[in-house]
Chains A and B, each alone.
Chain A
Amino acid sequence: MKLHTLAHSRTGDKGDTSNISIIAYRAEDYPLLCEQLTAERVAAFFAGLLEPGAAPVRRYELPNVQALNFVLPGILRGGVTRSLALDAHGKCLGSALLDLDLDLPTPN
């Protein structure tokens, strides 16, 4: 199942770092997101975009709003002002991440 069906997202930028929120629509899906959406998995998803040698992707938990916050240093390659990217802010990154496939637990 696509992450898109369980969660929504918004991406922010500061300097050349992006942060991507992943917010579960339903509180009961939050533990599944916590379990499967590790910082490593998100880093692997964006492997083609992350700068080699940049600081690792970090994950923060916000259980009261059933959300995870991923911080991706260096992914904006010079930041909004210097980047050659069409989407220099990286605003579209979160939408791409929603394409990630989740493994659903097998029903008993």
Chain B
Amino acid sequence: MKTLRIGSGAGYSGDRIEPAVELAEQGDLDYLVFECLAERTIALAQQARISDPQGGYDPLLSERMRRVLPFVGEHEGRRRLRVITNMGAANPVSAAREVRRIASELGLALKVVAVVGDDVLDVLRPEQVLDNGQTLGSLGARLISANAYLGVDGILDALRAEADVVITGRVADPSLFLAPQMFEFGWAAHDWPRLGRGTLVGHLLECAGQVSGGYFADPGFKDVDDLARLGFPLAEIDAEGNAVITKVSGSGGRVSRATCAEQLIYEVHDPAAYLTPDVTADFSHVSFVEESVDRVRAQGAAGRARPERLKVSVGYLDGWIGEGQMSYGGPGAVARAQLAREVVLKRLELMGVKMQDVRAELIGMDSLHGPRSSVEPWEVRLRVAARCEERSEAVRVGNEVETLYTNGPSGGGGASKSVRQVVAVASLLLPRDAVNPRIEA
């Protein structure tokens, strides 16, 4: 029986490139998938596209493709390798053009196909309500993007069109991995049990190194061999959607029941109802069996009918965040940092800086989970952050921290300050027939 080999080359837009090259070179893969779009990445990309109509795709697209394209397509003594990625972000068509340019530079004859149709900004109406209670109309000119989570449809069309490289915008992460399984094994679009199993494979792979020993080590409790050379995962999948998760022999990291269990539950709410555009997957009875070192069989996933509506992620501008930091060390560090915190908050108030929300904390004491320890640390870092409607107001937050140098308690050092625009993300649901995925070759 045919075994399909799918590797995961990236779990987020900034992910490491070397493990993907290792997979392309040594993984004997049929498909290499790069998942690079977090919730708001596409809104940021849309902003980039506004300033450059040819831009708006993943900033690492060119470098990644330059490194892996030499392994893509037909090569003597190897499986035919194809690439699927959502690195198209806000501009899959331009991204595909860039990949064609790189392929031709490298002397490779590859078919590159873009999947479009996720951008639904034009079909939304002002009266539609977001999950945060706001209407789209109330956002006015602050509205920057609206992208539906597409499922497998466009990718399937691209694979039928013999694409070597498929470039999408917003597609649900597991769908990037489910599509090649459906295509290769001929699964029907309503074959819910197989789609549920194939979605489990996608879910386990979609964060790349997170299932092969990345984001896992806790020395003395959970040790990971050779984490510095962490290998990215691949799945060996049969026609029923049963899979073994493993990685390239000789790479660092580990694949175990424990790494798989952590990734199984990652970003899942009700494990019996994991909603994707393709299927309602049921992970509640999944179990893992370690067949040998770094080989784990995943079993027990199920599936039911897919949701009727598609999730749309809406990006909008929502003011500015100004931030400043300053460190204090040695005896009395905490008392001086606390005084600095009070002084900055008082000064922001006295100057009437217009803030919607402000937060001041001591890194090393209370910045992550609130206060607890009574142990006096050797060093502590004040952090003040505020959200402001206007950039000019946000700038003043960092300035008030920096001026602690000559105007605050003794011995502050290492000041830093920053201002960033807030691109907020909210969501709504759209009927499936309002969304029209299609390919552009």
Interface residues of A (CB under 8 A from B): 4-5, 8-10, 12-15, 17, 19, 21, 23, 25, 46, 48-49, 58, 60, 62, 64-67, 69, 71, 78-82, 84-87, 92-93, 96
Total number of A-B contacts with CB less than 8 angstroms? 122
Partner of A23, one of B39, B258, B270: B258
Contact A65-B261, Cβ < 8 Å, known A48-B370, A81-B424, A96-B368: yes
Give the complex CA separation of A12 and B430 in angstroms. 25
Q: Does the CB pair A17–B269 fall under 8 Å?
A: yes
Given A48-B370, A64-B300, A87-B368: A69 touches B265 (CB 8 Å cut-off)? yes
Stretch at the interface among B65-73, B94-102, B152-160, B356-364: B356-364
Contact check, A84 vs B387: say whether CB atoms are below 8 A apart. yes
B369 and A82 contacting across the interface, CB-CB below 8 Å: no
14 further A-B contacts with Cβ under 8 Å, apart from A15-B39, A71-B270, are: A8-B258, A10-B262, A13-B267, A14-B39, A15-B425, A21-B261, A60-B284, A62-B286, A67-B265, A82-B387, A82-B424, A84-B359, A84-B386, A86-B385
Size category of the B interface is 35 or more
Known A19-B268, A86-B363: A8·B262 in contact at CB below 8 Å: yes
Closest to A25 in B: B258
Verify if B63 is at the interface (C-beta below 8 Å from A): no
Which among A8, A19, A65, A96 has the highest number of chain B CB atoms within 10 Å?
A: A65
Beta-carbon contact of B221 and A80 below 8 Å? no
A82 and B318 form a contact (CB under 8 A): yes
Flag if A15 contacts B131 (CB, 8 Å): yes
From B369, which residue of chain A is reached at the shortest CB distance? A96
CA A5 – CA B216 in complex, angstroms? 15
User: Does B75 lie at the interface of the complex (its beta carbon under 8 Å from any beta carbon of A)?
Assistant: no
Tell whether, in the assembled complex, residue A19 and residue B359 are in contact, meaning their CB atoms are under 8 Å apart.
Answer: no
Contact pattern, B 10-24, Cβ under 8 Å of A = 1, otherwise 0:
000000000000000
Interface membership of B81, Cβ < 8 A:
no
Contact status B359-A65, CB under 8 Å:
no
Are the C-beta atoms of B287 and A86 separated by less than 8 Å? no
Most buried by A among B38, B222, B285, B369: B369
- Contact indicator B262/A23 (Cβ below 8 Å): yes
Q: Decide: B287 and A82 in contact? CB cutoff 8 A.
A: no
Minimum distance in angstroms from A44 CB to a CB of chain B: 13
Min CB gap A80→B, angstroms: 7
* Contact in complex: B267, A12 (CB < 8 Å): yes
